[in-house]
Amino acid sequence: MIDLSVYLITDAAQCAARGLVATVAAAVRGGVTAVQLRDKHASDAELIAQGRALQAVLAGTGVPLIINDRIEVAKALGADGVHVGQSDAAAQEARAKLGAKAIIGLSVQTPALAWAVDPALVDYVGIGPVFATTTKRDHSPPLGFDGLAAVCAASPVPAVAIGGLQAAHAEAVWAAGAQGMALVSAICAAASPEQAAREIAAATQIVGESSR
Ligand code: TZP
Ligand code: MG
């Protein structure tokens, strides 16, 4: 099973100054447990090239590479999995095309959507945004921690929380029932992605152990 606890999601603009590969390499040194390559604007060919470079960085670390949205890119790369949104029958298509071993993540924003998750198709859900964030345009209304808890309670699979999260939120995220925090700006836009990841990993380890 995927370790959702410190789940880095890349953003092309926020990683641009340092470079995508250098940012992810630093974050992995700091202790991220999963990496999602997310770029809504890149072509499939560009994403495949980036994905190959990230696979080289992640080789031997045990940290899985998840591709956002592009099932064909995930398949071409032989990536560990794909994260899809609510549009279309994406989870079903992902499972059919990537096979039983692939990690399939699905975004859910409400308890009703979480109830509808089929654990045969979906390995984990991403729930958010917890807080408003400028990283994703047109996000749905923020859930807060009470809303997060309600969606977590309805999910038949493990959940990772997303949206405006930082190390200091770890305790509230776990208390709400999630198994991890997905982060973009807290790592990609940090002065030191390695140090940021290390602080978040330390915070999640403390709350993760006390909730076991
Ligand atoms: N989905 C919901 S919020 C979000 C995504 C991809 C962006 C989260 O970015 P940040 O910078 O961690 O708030
Ligand atoms: Mg999508």
- Predicted confidence (pLDDT) per residue in 79-97, tens digit: 999 999 987 689 999 999 9
**pLDDT-derived band at 212, boundaries 50, 70, 90:** low
Share of the chain above pLDDT 90, in %: 93
Measured in angstroms, how far is the CA atom of residue 176 from the centroid of ligand 2? 25
pLDDT the model gives residue 12:
97
Give per-residue pLDDT as tens, 157-199. Answer: 999 999 999 999 999 999 999 999 999 999 999 999 999 999 9
For residue 167, what pLDDT is reported?
A: 97
Q: Which helix (H) or strand (E) segment is 34 a member of?
A: strand 34-37
Handedness of CA 85, 100, 161, 51 (dihedral sign): negative
Assess contact for 56 and 65: CB atoms under 8 A.
no
Residue ranges at the known binding site: 36-40, 68-69, 88, 107, 133-136, 164, 184-185
- Tell me the residue length of the chain: 212
Assess whether the previous peptide bond of 129 is cis (omega < 30° from 0). yes
What is d(CA 208, CA 41) in angstroms, rounded to the nearest whole number? 35
Question: For the residues of 97-141, what is the DSSP string, one character each?
Answer: HH-TTSEEEEEE-SHHHHHT--TTT-SEEEE--SS--SSSTTPPP
- Residue for token pair 């603009």: 13
- For residues 106-135, give the mean pLDDT: 97
Mention every residue, 6+ apart, whose C-beta is less than 8 A from residue 39: 10, 11, 12, 46, 47, 50, 68
Q: What is the structure's pLDDT at 206?
A: 84
- Our answer to whether residue 136 is catalytic in this structure is yes
Task: Quick: pLDDT tens for 116-127.
Answer: 999 999 999 999
Site to substitute for ligand 1 among 7, 110, 130, 184, most atoms within 8 A of C-beta = 184
pLDDT at residue 177 in the model: 98
208 pLDDT higher than 90? no
Find the catalytic residue in 5, 70, 95, 107: 107
The answer, yes or no, to whether residue 211 has pLDDT greater than 80, is: no
Confidence category of residue 209, pLDDT binned at 50, 70, 90 = confident
Ligand 2 centroid – CA 85 distance (Å):
4
What's the pLDDT at 88?
A: 66
Whole-number pLDDT of residue 207 = 86
What does the alpha-carbon distance between residue 64 and residue 7 come to, in Å, rounded to a whole number?
10
- Domains along the chain with CATH numbers: 6-210 (3.20.20.70)
107 is an active site residue: yes
| pLDDT, average across residues 48-76 | 98
